[in-house]
Amino acid sequence: MVNTMETLVTMSHIDAVVRDPASVMAAIESRFSCRAFSPDRPVARQKIEEILRVASRAASSTNTQPWKVYVLQGDRRDALVAQVCAAHDATRDNSSLTAEYGEVDGYYPSEWVSPYIDRRRDNGWTLYGHLGIKKGEKDKMHAQGQRNYRFFDAPVGLMFTIDRVMGRGSLIDYGMFLQTLMLAARALGLHTCPQAAWNNCAKIVLPFIGAGANEMLVCGMALGYADESAPVNTYRTSREPVESFTRWI
């Protein structure tokens, strides 16, 4: 016997019509790494839960759903910021401390090659130029780097972990979850900034959030309302044209 309710639920997502395709495209096109948030505009827990609920519909191989999310607000957010900023200052004064705070598992390649290193450098120096930071201005670079560890003043900080036992395919799943989360945030008028910088302080972050010994940090993310008056939020990264990364077979 066919379960009528189950059939209705199944058919509803098959037959669903995206009535406003332009809004879907706009959510994708308007997503950017926001680097200045309005600290005095809190985000209601209900909104955060709705964003996470929608993001949970992201695809994952065999429905493994490998994501684990830790939400930081208020005093706990501020306490983590204080700890990590202190560590960041300490590593500036003593570079040998970097290994003490960093994640064991590498995030970036052990050796950079073109065209990736070229894009990375262009992004970094274009952003610094946008902020008026010149080459060699180490104090300004340090201060801007530390903006990551202040969640760019966003009232909500998110930390994402994964069980170490999971394979690299689960990190692909995780990427789809993160992108879905960021687009869901746009649908509710919010902005985000995914942050690999937090991995440099994983040994502080993981015990602070109560992560298990089997978990590794994937990244952090700032979530909130963009500061529309901040010049840094006018910065927009370039993208390669479709023909440069596509082959029609």
* Cβ neighbours of residue 188 closer than 8 Å, sequence gap 6 or more: 47, 50, 51
- Closest by CA to 48, choosing from 202, 143, 188, is 188
Its CATH class, for the domain covering 33-108+149-235, is: alpha beta
DSSP 82-121: HHHHHHHHHHHH-GGGHHHHS-SS-SS-SS--TTHHHHHH
* Residues 67-116 pLDDT 10s: 999 999 999 999 999 999 999 999 888 877 777 776 656 778 888 999 99
pLDDT on residue 98: 75
What pLDDT, on the 0 to 100 scale, is given for residue 110? 85
68, β-bridge pairs: 161
- pLDDT for res 103: 60
Rounded CA separation 153/172 (Å): 29
Structural contact between residues 220 and 205, judged by C-beta atoms closer than 8 angstroms: yes
Q: Which of 4, 34, 47, 63 minimizes the C-alpha distance to 187?
A: 47
Tens of pLDDT, residue by residue, the chain (249 residues): 444 444 445 567 787 878 888 999 999 999 999 999 999 999 999 999 999 999 999 999 999 999 999 999 999 999 999 999 999 999 888 877 777 776 656 778 888 999 999 999 999 888 888 888 888 889 998 899 999 999 999 999 999 999 999 988 999 999 999 999 999 999 999 999 999 999 999 999 999 999 999 999 999 999 999 999 999 999 999 999 999 999 999
pLDDT for the residue numbered 7: 46
Domain ranges in the chain are 33-108+149-235
The one-letter amino acid at 243? E
